[in-house]
Amino acid sequence: MESGPSHDNRHATGFVSGIEDLNDTGLTETEYEDFRAFLEESCGIALGDQKQYLLTTRLRPLLEEFRYGSVGELLGHLRKGLGLGLRERVVDAMTTNETYWFRDGHPYEILANTILPELDKRPGVMPRLWSAACSSGQEPYSISIVIQEYLRARPGAFPSGVQVVGTDISPTMLKKARSGLYHESDLARGLPAEQRDRYFKRRGFGSEINPEIRARVRFMDLNLLKPYTLMGNFDVIFCRNVLIYFSAQSRRDILERMIRVLNPGGYMVMGASESLANHASSFQMVRVGGGIVYRLKDPSRPLR
């Protein structure tokens, strides 16, 4: 999961008040508030109070590259639509990409032991799974590995195939995800040695994921505040550690859009600290072992 505003430890421990941040960064209060508004308008991300140090740290390389004298000057050009691809570069700079393989464990166990067996009972249908805000691809590739393990244990399962769609707002992260190439430091974060040996081929600086895992994964550029209708419908949506970065209204809007593209009886997989808020009545909570997923109620059949 997983693009959102980065958390900076130096900010959290080294600055106490907004005034100190303003003095240290050279950022005026007006510039900061204007940029916060721009960021939420552009991608729904809510930048918290007293994040001036984070803002200037993230934007400094762009200010230097484009020779802007201040954040205010940069924002002025953004508002006027100047600078080819500048808006995307700014949003990219302001998102974090904290992600790793098989994050939190339980969702993947539920996928393997509960969700996939259920989807496998529908002959002639190709299940579709969506990894929202997938960052550099670890989550959708982890999903694909779980599917491959399921197929290894059950030859002939899913004769129509399975599709995994990974989306993110960051062009940089999507480029890395599509490459399927990962540095040693990326692979060390959550990837079991057995699965690394089985599904990756070593390349100079790291490893490349095998074609059988990549083949079922498709990556798309998507702003979660934009319509999803062209993506089609899904049986499972992984939206984990994403909504916490959005305002309350944006969270409601995103969940409403996701419900529209989630098939009745489909599953929503969320982060441990996230909730369905006012959409909870549309779902049934499903507890499996130490994990929880949410199943969209299907009026045509009773829920177990």
Cβ–Cβ under 8 Å, residues 131 and 143: yes
Helix (H, G, I), strand (E, B) or coil at 155: coil
**Residues recorded for the chain:** 304
**Partners of 209 in the β-ladder:** 200
Phi, psi of 105 (to 5 degrees): 75, -60
Q: Is 168 a catalytic residue?
A: yes
In terms of Cβ atoms closer than 10 Å to its own Cβ (0-12, 13-18, 19+), residue 83 is middle
Edge-first strand listing for the sheet containing 163-168:
217-221, 163-168, 128-131, 234-239, 262-270, 291-296, 283-288
Phi, psi of 271 (to 5 degrees): -75, 160
Measured between alpha carbons, how far is 35 from 195 in angstroms, rounded to an integer? 43
What's the token pair of residue 231? 């993506």
**Partners of 236 in the β-ladder:** 129, 267
Measured between alpha carbons, how far is 257 from 279 in angstroms, rounded to an integer? 11
Catalytic entry in 58, 103, 240, 251: 58
**Partners of 203 in the β-ladder:** 206
Catalytic entry in 21, 92, 120, 168: 168
Residue 199, C-beta contacts closer than 8 angstroms, at least 6 positions apart: 145, 148, 209, 210, 212, 213
Which residues are known catalytic residues?
Answer: 58, 168
